[in-house]
Amino acid sequence: MLNEILVGRDLFDLAKYGSKGMGYIAKHIVGDKGETHLTTPVLFDLSRPHILGLFGKRGQGKSYTMGNLIEELMLFPDNIRRNLAGVVIDTMGIYWSMKYPNDRDSELLSEWGLKPRAFDINLMIPFGHKKLFEDDNVPFDSIFSFKPSELNTSDWALSFNIELDTEMGILLQRVMKQILGTGNYSIDDIIEVIKDEDAEKLTKENLINRFIVADEWGIFNQDGSNIHSIVKPGKVTVIDVSHFSQASGGWSVKSLVVGLLSRKILDARIKARRMEEEESLEGGSGEGHMPITWMFIDEAHEFLPMVGTTAASLPLLQWVKVGREPGVSLVLATQMPNKLHQEAISQCDLVLTHRLTSSKDIDALTQVMQSYMKYGIENYFDTLPKVKGAALVLDDNSEKLIPVRVRPRMSWHAGGSPIAIKD
């Protein structure tokens, strides 16, 4: 492609790599409202760590756009792709469709110089949901689980919504103090320790009941999944947590999954980065370890909220604060940026925002963009054509706002709204 707009790349990388390791996400919109036309391809840097905010009100295309980013990650040539990996937190159960080509939009794709294409994603489900998926004839590729011994006291407290200064919280702390460090224990082992504790019968029963429910979540197994079975070089793994929406406290379970995954990936990348540096000093390639990892999270405000704390909050904030050095990237998609943790918003070095109308959401976005705007952000939204995929891009490197239209998906998008009128 010639005359591209390259987003997210600093001057050093621009001079050294040009557009290598960049993904074709959109085209530049020139003109206002009805007098607009599409011009230059817009490419996003996906080879360096970034915090990317993906915003827009309901129905404007956040999930669709996130699919484009995932596609581009898988389209790189092998020499780049093998150093990258993706993990998608699928809260709605829609990204399985990336295994199928978007044949219905073949003409539109042709206009953009693209073709329908299927992508070989690795669809993982909780090991306890295996029968549920099989009974519903829903295909999946593999299962994941965690060891109960991988959780600390705070993880359990946040997942169970227990305040640590209550009777139950104090009992939980005593139990965990006894069992932590005893090896690879099970939930049944935890329950046995609770039974032996000197505490009120009702308090013990309530805590035991919470662990019984946790066992039914289907995410715990004494074997647990090796993080390298989830994060694979050159692959994108979709973690389907959509069935937790049907359970009581479903978002707490989803947050626990995200928190545990985030912690394990960051730990692995910190170790890998150290080995990469050591090998580079010795003249090696620095390749072959845990790849640079992108995590894509829809409904991000549920995991990293402005107010309150979830089991995912602290691990994700670590990614936000220190992720650039070890090599982890976040895509935080939400229709309510005003409910996303302030530190996450302020650390976004890339923003792609579809149209917003809520004044609170606009105010939250203004805090990120105000340095680069001549006018209020409402004015920039007003200049966008009222078509699907229209958005604004903020590139912190160039300190510019770029109006764009997101390209059509090559793979099938299962996240559209249903309609009663059939063709």
DSSP one-letter string for 16-49 = HHTTTTEEEEEEEEESSGGG-EEEEEEEEE-SS-
User: Residue for token digits 């990336």?
Assistant: 98
Confidence at residue 136, expressed as pLDDT on a 0 to 100 scale: 85
Model confidence pLDDT, tens digit, residues 104-154: 999 999 999 999 999 999 999 999 999 988 988 888 999 999 999 999 999
pLDDT in the model for residue 227: 95
Model pTM score = 0.93
Closest CA to 126 of 60, 192, 58, 224: 224
- 154-182 tens-digit pLDDT: 999 999 999 999 999 999 999 999 998 88
Report the pLDDT value the prediction gives residue 418, as an integer from 0 to 100.
59
Domain borders along the chain are 5-105+115-145+225-354+378-392+399-406, 148-216
Residues 6+ apart with CB under 8 A from 129: 143, 218, 243
CATH code of the region 5-105+115-145+225-354+378-392+399-406 = 3.40.50.300
Q: What is the pLDDT of residue 1?
A: 45
Give the residue ranges of the chain where pLDDT is below 50.
1
- Over residues 177-211, the pLDDT tens digits come to 999 888 899 999 999 999 999 999 999 999 999 99
